Chain A
Amino acid sequence: MAVALTMAQMKVAVLRHAFHGRRAQTAGTGAALGALFAAGTIYLAFVDPDLLAAGYAVWLLGWMLGPVFMGGGDETLRPEYFSLLGLPPRRLAAGLLVAAFVGVAPLVSLTALLGLLVVGVRLGVANAVVAVPAMALQLAVFVLLSKVSVAVIGLALRSRLGAIASGVLNGAILAALGQIWVFFVAFGQTGVPAAVWYLPSGWGLLAVQGDWWALAALAVLVVLLLGAWAALLGRRAGATRTSARGRRPMTAATVNGAIVAKELRTWSRDLVRNHQLTFALSYGVCFAASPLILGWDGMLPYAGPIFVVMAAAMASNVYGTDGTALWLTLMTPGVSDVRGRQLAWLSAQAPVAIVLTVVFTAITGGPWPLMLALLSALLGGAAGLVPLISVFALVPGTDPHRRAGNPLRTSEDDGGLTGLAYLMLVLVIVTGVPAAFVAVRYGWAGVAVGVLTGVLCYWGFGLLAERRLCSHGPELLDVMRTGRKPETTVKFRLDQLSKTQKSIVWWCFGFGAIPLVPQGIIATVFVANDMLRHSWFLATYMPPGLRYPVAAAFILLGLAMYGTGLWFVRPRPSGEGAAA
């Protein structure tokens, strides 16, 4: 116990120092927000135990996923600090666990868990007594699950399987957030699913309500998690990547074949790109499939197109990720590197997109013209825009062999990368608009338009990229080598903006899709097909004369949001940055 107490004291000391400076403000804001959530949760205890169970499930999710998106969670006391002391892993884990209970987040969560006490008191004396150990155990489960999931993901990102798994998970979570309305509608219609009771987050509540076994289960879970965490802490230090995999020999015989082979190998062997691809796939499928929860399959066929758009955004810095390897392209000027990369991008993404679109459209039985038109237009548009954007708005990447521990960090300029990805999202969607429009109005003619614009984008944008690569190759190489953009090129940077501007940009890009796509474009499609009173599509509830205007207004709103966002991050000469 001495170790644990010492560690807890260390943590208190560290936090005391931290909370003196400017971080105190952030922590204070966080604590206030947390207290608000906690109060809300306690309120649920008075309303409906079902909702309380759901509430605790959200807390659990927060504990498990929060650190994944916020840089690895609470690392005030790092296991590495103690690695030279030679503590046995279990005592180290127990000590760190005790220290982990010291802090704002556990305190806030404990407050939220007072809901258990409220439920207990309302049921009887025995229930109220059980509530006290239940609260402690429940909090331990939260903290431990958080620690274990961070440790697992940290390990996972060192292996292909891990990169893929985290890609799937991140995609699913982001898609769920984007489609959060589905879940609200679903819960509104069918009530809280019973599953929330059986998640570990519900066990405390079960125990308080008289299922005594749940208390024992919580205790067992704590012991198991502690063991798991101790084991993971041991792995954290030494694990290295082995590379004794079998390699396929390269059988290409032509120039383009060689570039495609190189690109495909790079994609399949690079954990970052593994992660990005599975992210795009998972996002597309989850986003399109989530309305199935409501029994509505109208969005399902869009999984393919959404995947294409996301995959393009992920590849928006394709030249930057390869770093200074660009010199080889410069030394072989007769070769069209861009065409090879376009082919490679298509041969990796198109099969997936086509299968997704065809299968899902077959399941829903249409609308075939729209889906095929979109698919061909977007594939061509993306394959054209990927090299174009990455050449014209290159964000210098860190050379692959110089990157540090975190495989997901490919550039020092992640603001620039994010801006580029958003730009790509918008532009690729734009390349799909003409075909979609014609398909909605005239049916199969849209497919012809889609193929035409797709081929044109592929050819034309590819040509532009190739020209730029030829004329500005040495400059691009210099940007990669020094990591600095020369005065003449433009910047897409978020970090030049003030806090308010940044949050405006985030809101615009983050939520612009809602008015534009579902409330605007999809609603127009529904109205055009006389599919009225459709779930949450506002325009379909309007009186006849107002349907198109409302949908059009939403489209305008969406476009205005993207426009505003783009205006803030618009390209500007680097000198102007300080003034902005």
Chain B
Amino acid sequence: MTPALEISGLTKRFGDNLAVDHIDLGVPQGSFFGLVGQNGAGKTTTLSMAVGLLRPDGGSARIFGTDVWSAPERAKAMVGVLPDGLAMPERLTGREVLTYLGLLRGLDKDVVRQRAEELLAVLELDGAEKTLVIEYSTGMRKKIGLATALLHAPRLLVLDEPFEAVDPVSAATIKTILRGFVAGGGSIVLSSHVMALVEQLCDHVAVIDKGRVAAAGTLDEVRGARSLEDTFVELVGDQDTGVKELSWLSH
């Protein structure tokens, strides 16, 4: 079976900084794939290249076997993306954003209306009917972003830190949605810093460290008998000095 997302040899260099160094990853169909790594490890850069938002210096990315860079139209129709920190059409309300994007994705007007209605209700954004996206809170922005990723019912979701700044109640809702999506045959890649959350949701994990894959495989393969957090700290932590302290901060 072709993987839902296949990354081979992706490389990106920013000036002297080799942000992503020949990363190979395969996301099997129907899997819930967690990408973890320290700040600046290269998660956002990798995911951006994988979905065609950032041009790699080398390597390739395929979505269900379709190359993202040579056949973007077909590949991008199959994926829903939640990028980290990018803008939306800011002067539209949540419903208008969904209507606009649905039509852009070629959906029928009535289908768009119905899906927008449901998404806004499930994500509890329907209370802010008259609020423009620019006036949304950080968590609301994440939620409308997630709604746009789900709108066209893609087969693969690529989510960059979807739970950041989301309140616990909404997080529970989102988890339910995502689990349902996987149960229905969809595939998800998400990046996160919350190990417990990745352990709870994902069946596959990759640990990225300084632009390379430090470990990858099913959750149990990667963590073994320990918790994911311990494995993570051991894989990427600074072994020789341990945790540093700010000496001047104690009285």
Give min CB distance, A272 to chain B, whole Å.
11
By a CB distance below 8 angstroms, the chain A residues around B81 are 327, 331
A324 at the binding interface (Cβ < 8 Å): yes
A247 at the binding interface (Cβ < 8 Å): yes
Closest 6 pairs (CB-CB, A-B): A258-B103, A269-B91, A325-B87, A324-B86, A400-B90, A474-B55
Query: How many angstroms from the CA of A365 to the CA of B99 in the assembled complex?
Result: 47
By a CB distance below 8 angstroms, the chain B residues around A330 are 52-53
Give min CB distance, A239 to chain B, whole Å.
16
Give min CB distance, B56 to chain A, whole Å.
9
B131 to A, closest residue via Cβ: A243
Interface pairs (17), CB distance under 8 Å: A243-B130, A243-B131, A243-B135, A247-B130, A250-B95, A250-B96, A258-B103, A259-B100, A261-B100, A266-B90, A325-B87, A325-B90, A331-B51, A331-B81, A335-B104, A401-B90, A477-B53
Query: How many angstroms from the CA of A323 to the CA of B83 in the assembled complex?
Result: 14
| A333:B76 contact, CB within 8 angstroms | yes
| A327:B86 contact, CB within 8 angstroms | yes
Further pairs besides A247-B129, A474-B54: 4, Cβ < 8 Å: A255-B103, A328-B101, A331-B81, A400-B90
By a CB distance below 8 angstroms, the chain A residues around B73 are 333-334
By a CB distance below 8 angstroms, the chain B residues around A243 are 130-132, 135
B180 at the binding interface (Cβ < 8 Å): no
A510 at the binding interface (Cβ < 8 Å): no
| B92:A400 contact, CB within 8 angstroms | no
Given A247-B93, A330-B53, A399 and B72 touching (CB < 8 A)?
no
Query: How many angstroms from the CA of A244 to the CA of B73 in the assembled complex?
Result: 39
B18 at the binding interface (Cβ < 8 Å): no
Query: How many angstroms from the CA of A418 to the CA of B67 in the assembled complex?
Result: 40
Most buried by A among B91, B92, B133, B141: B91
Query: How many angstroms from the CA of A257 to the CA of B104 in the assembled complex?
Result: 9
Of residues 257 through 274 on chain A, the ones whose CB sits less than 8 Å from some CB of chain B are 257-259, 261-262, 265-266, 269-270
The answer, among A250, A261, A324, A474, for a CB contact under 8 Å with B87, is A324
Given A262-B96, A328-B89, A401 and B134 touching (CB < 8 A)?
yes
Binding site for B on A (CB under 8 A): 243-247, 249-250, 252-255, 257-259, 261-262, 265-266, 269-270, 322-325, 327-328, 330-335, 399-401, 474-475, 477-478, 481
Query: How many angstroms from the CA of A438 to the CA of B101 in the assembled complex?
Result: 44
By a CB distance below 8 angstroms, the chain A residues around B96 are 247, 250, 261-262, 265
| A325:B104 contact, CB within 8 angstroms | no
Give min CB distance, B6 to chain A, whole Å.
19
| A474:B52 contact, CB within 8 angstroms | yes
Query: How many angstroms from the CA of A334 to the CA of B85 in the assembled complex?
Result: 24
| A401:B87 contact, CB within 8 angstroms | yes
A477 to B, closest residue via Cβ: B53
By a CB distance below 8 angstroms, the chain B residues around A261 are 96, 100
By a CB distance below 8 angstroms, the chain A residues around B141 are 401
B-side interface size class: 35 or more
Query: How many angstroms from the CA of A165 to the CA of B23 in the assembled complex?
Result: 55
| A474:B76 contact, CB within 8 angstroms | no
Query: How many angstroms from the CA of A478 to the CA of B134 in the assembled complex?
Result: 21
B105 at the binding interface (Cβ < 8 Å): yes
Most buried by A among B51, B86, B131, B135: B86
B105 to A, closest residue via Cβ: A332
Give min CB distance, A225 to chain B, whole Å.
35
Give min CB distance, A484 to chain B, whole Å.
11
| A252:B72 contact, CB within 8 angstroms | no
| B100:A250 contact, CB within 8 angstroms | yes
| B92:A265 contact, CB within 8 angstroms | yes
By a CB distance below 8 angstroms, the chain B residues around A333 are 72-73, 76
Given A322-B87, A331-B81, A400-B87, A255 and B104 touching (CB < 8 A)?
yes
Give min CB distance, B171 to chain A, whole Å.
22
| A259:B87 contact, CB within 8 angstroms | no
By a CB distance below 8 angstroms, the chain A residues around B85 are 324
| A331:B99 contact, CB within 8 angstroms | no
| A481:B130 contact, CB within 8 angstroms | no
B13 at the binding interface (Cβ < 8 Å): no
Given A243-B132, A335-B104, A262 and B92 touching (CB < 8 A)?
yes
B141 to A, closest residue via Cβ: A401
| B89:A325 contact, CB within 8 angstroms | yes
Give min CB distance, A169 to chain B, whole Å.
24
